[in-house]
Amino acid sequence: MQIYPAIDIKDGRAVRLRQGLAADVTDYGTPAEAAMDWKTQGATYLHVVDLDGAFEGKGRNLPLVAEIVRETGLPVELGGGIRTMEDIEARLTLGVARVILGTVALTDPDLVRRACARYPGRIACGIDAKDGRVAVRGWVEASDVDPVDLALRMKDAGVLDVIYTDIRRDGMQTGPNVEATAELVRRTGLHVIGSGGVGKIQDLYDLRDAGCAGAIVGKALYNGNFTLAQALRLEAE
């Protein structure tokens, strides 16, 4: 199972939010410093989110993303405010390994289909759920769409990888929504990356046992609940 240390960028800083709330922020320094720290500790892949892009619909942290890619040399998956083919191309040109499409997965599935055809294997879908329904535009707008239904649509569009986040668990360190994540794995057959709520090392094993291809870890690592070295053991098992 791939482990993805998370770096969320807001106002030029590496931060973590609680339940996706922009007003509930903890600052962890510059994004490049955070990225290099995870590389030093053994990270093999980074998960980066441009929160300003997610909230505003346009990326203004691309120079910081480029710095992360350049300084670490690690593969980076990037999400946040990516809503046009031009947005996708701009990020891939920076050297990003994989872009994560969120809002447009719901509002513009044809874009997802075209992107998957043009960049096979480099397009992932971020499915963020609140109370069992998909939320979009930086998690502030709810829909009536079931996450599994959206995932199946994305599979039909050519998506192979899905990042599933339970928003109410995110940043809370109370454990991921293993049941909902396992259902997504079981019903779609996609490579599902679990996200949101990881607080202890056992949570990662629970996601692995649920069939996840990967897990994103944020605040639990920043707070020292366990080490990245401990988490990385799952990549070798």
Residue 169 gets which letter from DSSP? G
3-state helix, strand, coil in the chain (%, to 5): 40, 25, 30
Nearest-angstrom CA–CA distance, 46 and 68: 9
Nearest to 128 by CA among 169, 101, 166, 158: 166
Helix (H) or strand (E) holding 8: strand 2-10
Helices (H), 94-209: 103-107, 109-118, 147-157, 178-188, 201-209
Please give the backbone phi and psi of residue 96, each rounded to the nearest 5 degrees, phi first.
Answer: -65, 135
Nearest-angstrom CA–CA distance, 35 and 141: 30
Which amino acids are annotated catalytic? 8, 128
